[in-house]
Amino acid sequence: MRRALLVVVAACACRGESERQRAADTAGVRAPTVTGARIAAPRDGPAGEWGMPGGDYANSRYSELTQITAENARNLKVAWAFSTGTLRGHEGQPLVIDSTMYVVTPFPNVAYAFDLTQEGQPLKWKFRPRNSQAAIGQACCDVVNRGAAFADGRLFYNLLEGSTVAVDVRDGKQIWRTRVANLNRGETITMAPIVVKNLVLVGNSGGELGVRGWIAALDTRTGREVWRAYSAGPDRDVKVGPRFKPFYAHDRGKDLGVTTWPADAWKTGAGAVWGWLSYDPELNLVYHGTSNPGPWNAEQRPGDNKWTCAILARDADTGELVWAFQVTPHDMWDYDAVNENILVDLPIGGTTRKVLVHFDRNGFAYVLDRATGEALMAHPFVPMNWSTGVDLTTGRPKVVPEKATAQGKKITNICPSLEGGKNQQPAAFSPKTGLFYVPTINLCMDFEARPATYVAGTPYIGASAPEYAGPDGYRGEFMAFDVTTGRKSWGIREPYPVWGGALVTAGDVVFYGTLDGWFKAVDAYTGEQLWRFKLGSGVVGNPITYLGADGKQYVAIYSGLGGDMGVLIAGDVAANLPHDVRVRGTTLPDIGRWTSWGGVLFVFSL
């Protein structure tokens, strides 16, 4: 039987926080040393609800609930389940507000509302929007949806075809619908919006189809577009003005979104905004990442290609760019920077700093000052060989020349692969342990760039990049990571990339799911496995926890294989991704033995 391998020696099942820490020390597990760490923007609703995609504006995915602990997690059982009626990748997570659970499916993006006060959790309503079938053929990396946002009695979410809808939570009736993306250009929408004040913030997908990335703000009451900011182009489009004060000199200048590209390449230069959004109410800044530049053939776009593969901080009211940090300038490997930015206050160098923490696809864990964009730390968190480190005086990675890609030249064994050290699957942070709980990928690739021609609405890639298991043969690891030291506290090696997100609770329990269909609970201090349950399909979604109307703590997770990992499966799972970089079925050739498509919401309790 295949088993996950705990990298460090697991501690015995001692009871009590101090006992678990002592056991960890005895067994060789480095006990947490981060004291005084705290979430920058804690949830503003009841602790028993899950009211935002990431749990709070900080994207911490931390819950204050404590009923489920390391002592009793072994007693978890299925409380109820629901088939969504939809196959394909179930990324994202439910919301729970006022004893109602809200679920949004992959395409066709059906929304469900469940009454948690009644036995059997009956449906309050079901909303099935109009959604263009043409979006299925346009969408890169499966027809996923990463969830909804909630405010003022309305549920807001995006449709794959490029529209945002507002639904009345009382009866499931549509209040407004706004088309924000152009499907004919290859734009779709898969990301989870957030609501800041009276604005719904949304961004586009389509980085592999030569779209021009953007983020937009819609009025929550009417759906009217209030502002839109592009990732590339002239300053007026990017919303660069007097407030723009990047920390590094090479990021200052006029119209860098044009001059760091050849000719008009920025118009099809990608930089899509399909990942997670964070918000700091004190600074009134929204943080978002941008995707890869297009095409992947880097020789067709000399220059830094700003502002792709970057982390951007914008004024929430106006979209004005305040600072930018380009994580991977002139990206040659498809290292999108759309991963979540977790807002925390951490002790660094004897001083508590207001930072954002970003586990990037390029394999580095970044700690940035969230007011200025200064890179304070950058530590590798997965096996990598494309770079020897990040120069903190410039913020730029030190590229290994032998791993730089080139047209017509096959570069072998680049680590991490284009899937990154971590992809869309979000990490979690516990202010109790000061640790980040990170689902990771250990894949490497060969890469050969080739000419690409832009045709609107079609793949704009220009590369071949087969993938395979990285060092030591495992393909994923779930780990606890201390960004103040750049050290892993513990890690659980998995046979496949860990594509589902993390949840950590004040009961010191961490939850995550695996591609081969296991849902697991582990000890936050030691990584000791406390419980696991085999689901009907692989997990690419994110766990949440909530307090039921009966006063009990529940944990919910989607089972439904898909996303970019799902399209790599051999057998009867269709490869919808219209790209030319991998041979179908070669990256995860054996996963079909353990799981297949699905679409079920599972809910557990003691």
Based on the residue annotation, tell me whether 334 is a catalytic residue of this protein: yes
User: Is residue 381 pLDDT above 90, yes or no?
Assistant: yes
| Among the ranges given (4-8, 32-36, 383-387, 551-555), the one the predictor scored with the smallest mean pLDDT | 4-8
Q: Which of 59, 292, 423, 542 is catalytic?
A: 292
What type of residue sits at position 595? T
**Percentage of the chain exceeding pLDDT 90:** 84
Based on the residue annotation, tell me whether 208 is a catalytic residue of this protein: yes
Based on the residue annotation, tell me whether 235 is a catalytic residue of this protein: no
Q: Which of 91, 142, 161, 208 is catalytic?
A: 208
Q: Which of 304, 334, 467, 494 is catalytic?
A: 334
Alpha-carbon distance 189 to 364, whole Å?
27
Q: Whole-model pTM?
A: 0.94
Residue-by-residue DSSP string for 351-420:
EEEEEEEEE-TTSEEEEEETTT--EEEEEE-S---SEEEEETTTTEEEE-GGG--BBTBEEEEESS-TT-
Higher pLDDT, 32 or 53: 53
User: Phi and psi of 29, rounded to 5°?
Assistant: -85, 125
User: Is residue 449 pLDDT above 60, yes or no?
Assistant: yes
Burial of residue 22 (CB within 10 Å: 0-12, 13-18, 19+) is: middle
User: Is residue 25 pLDDT above 80, yes or no?
Assistant: no
Tokens 């495992």 belong to 474
Mean pLDDT of the chain: 92
pLDDT digit string, tens, across residues 328-379: 999 999 999 999 999 999 999 889 999 999 999 999 999 999 999 999 999 9
Alpha-carbon distance 366 to 352, whole Å?
16
Residue 582 is predicted with a pLDDT of 67
Domains of the chain: 5-40+51-427+435-605 (2.140.10.10)
pLDDT digit string, tens, across residues 113-134: 999 999 999 999 999 999 988 8
User: Is residue 11 pLDDT above 80, yes or no?
Assistant: no
User: Is residue 15 pLDDT above 60, yes or no?
Assistant: no
Higher pLDDT, 286 or 573: 286
User: Is residue 13 pLDDT above 50, yes or no?
Assistant: no
User: Is residue 548 pLDDT above 80, yes or no?
Assistant: yes
Strands 467-469 and 443-449: antiparallel
Closest by Cα among 164, 148, 58 to 96? 148
| pLDDT (average), residues 516-526 | 97
3-state secondary structure at position 592: helix
